[in-house]
Amino acid sequence: MTTEQNERLIWVAHVTRIRDHKDEAAFAELFAHFAPRVKAFLMKSGADAGLAEDVAQDVMVTLWKKAHLFDPGRASVSTWIFTVARNRRIDALRREKRPEPEDLGWGPEAEPDQEDIVTFQQESDALAGAIAALPAKQRDLIERAYYGDLSHSEIAAETGLPLGTIKSRIRLALDRLRHAMK
């Protein structure tokens, strides 16, 4: 057995101890090894030190709380941790692009024209019909992603499907919806 294979087995054993016994010593070792690496990874991807620290902390909390979701047959511990880190970074970027409450307009908005209301209702009905016409597997993922406001990794954790399958199905579903709405 190579050193790399031995190290992988050790990390899997640590996650198993966290999952089965909430072993704080195993978590402390994983944290000491991976937290600085996750922070460095995030900083290399453009996050400032503060955000990288926050996301790294969040990733490690996820490891503690969701150790039961780790499947050594699908990925190594490091791959799993860095995938969570990448997804948390994407989530953080999305939050940064949302308007802050002070950026939103105050006071009553002008009433929309009756024509706009009818158009909006027709488009909403067409979209609902297009979603209903999707294959069940694609419809379920679209509903989880957009109505349930779940990230792709959260959907993968809930469904047990590989992340690539989730992304492919959502991409295909969105393509079908675009064509249906033309």
Number of domains the chain is built from: 2
Residues 75 and 143 in one domain: no
Last residue of a domain, one of 49, 68, 97: 97
What's the domain range around 153?
112-180
DSSP 143: I
What CA–CA distances, in Å, run from 109 to 98, 103, 104, 117, 120? 20, 15, 11, 14, 17
* Number of neighbours of residue 2 by Cβ within 10 angstroms: 7
The string of pLDDT tens digits covering residues 32-68 is 999 999 999 888 888 888 889 999 999 999 999 999 9
Report the C-alpha gap between 48 and 107 in whole angstroms. 35
Residue 7 included in any domain: yes
Q: Is residue 45 part of a domain?
A: yes
Same domain, residue pair 93 and 121: no
Answer yes or no: pTM beyond 0.95. no
Domain annotation covers residue 139: yes
Residue 72 shares a structural domain with residue 133: no
- The answer to whether residue 104 is domain-embedded is no
**Residues 30 and 77 occupy one common structural domain:** yes
| Structure tokens that stand for 46 in this block | 């453009």
Q: What are the pLDDT digits (tens) for 17-41?
A: 999 999 999 999 999 999 999 999 8
